Amino acid sequence: MISIRKEQIGDEEQIRIVNTRAFGQPAEANVVDTLRKNCLAGESLVALDGDKIVGHILFTPAVIEAERKEIVGMGLAPMAVLPEFQRQGIGSKLIRTGLDEMRKTEQPFVIVLGHPEYYPRFGFVRASRYGIVSQYPNVPDDAFMILVYDQAALAGVSGIGKYRAEFDAAM
């Protein structure tokens, strides 16, 4: 039985292992460790099988830089499930729990850079529909997505969707 809870002190090493094994490299785990030090805002959730951490998802503040204003919402990244636990619905459970929290905390939007076949099932659409593009060059149009909770806040806003600078190290 898989349960989801917020990250707690003492989870750091297992979260590192989950990200490193899921991505097959340490870059994303390093970003998570850096963000833990630098950024108190956001949400970090873990998926547990008993007391073993098998999945992790992180939301940190992200901005849309428009011509005359900047809107702050959240960025989903990274998300990781241990390879032997993938395709069992754990990633979906992490996303749904995280998005519930984003809605409750009244985030105007969540951006994600990821698999275009995966995120639309949670309500994400291409960010380009809103005239929003990724800060990173060479990102395919369908891979940069947004879920808008506050349509009014986004009305007439187009520009660059930006994750925190710590993510640059993994790009």
Least distance CB 154 / ligand COA (angstroms): 22
Nearer to ligand COA, 157 or 164 (CB): 164
Q: How many CB atoms lie within 10 A of CB 165?
A: 10
Candidate residues 114, 120, 128, 160; the one interacting with ligand COA per rule CB under 6 A: 114
Binding-site string for ligand COA from residue 8 to residue 27, where x marks contact by CB under 6 A and - marks none: --------------xx----
Which residues within the stretch 39-78 sit at the binding site for ligand COA (CB under 6 A)?
78
From 111, 131, 142, 110, select the one nearest 67 (Cα to Cα).
131
**Strand bridging mode 132-134 / 159-162:** parallel
DSSP state of 7: -
Least distance CB 93 / ligand COA (angstroms): 7
Rounded distance, CA 2 to CA 47, Å? Answer: 6
Answer for the pair 73, 164: CB distance below 8 angstroms, yes or no.
no
Least distance CB 54 / ligand COA (angstroms): 9
Nearer to ligand COA, 118 or 136 (CB): 118
- The answer to whether 92 contacts ligand COA (rule: CB under 6 A) is yes
In the three-class reduction of DSSP (H, G, I as helix; E, B as strand; rest coil), residue 145 is classed as: strand
- The answer to whether 91 contacts ligand COA (rule: CB under 6 A) is yes
Rounded distance, CA 93 to CA 70, Å? Answer: 31
Interface with ligand COA (CB under 6 A): 22-23, 78-81, 86-92, 114-115, 117-118
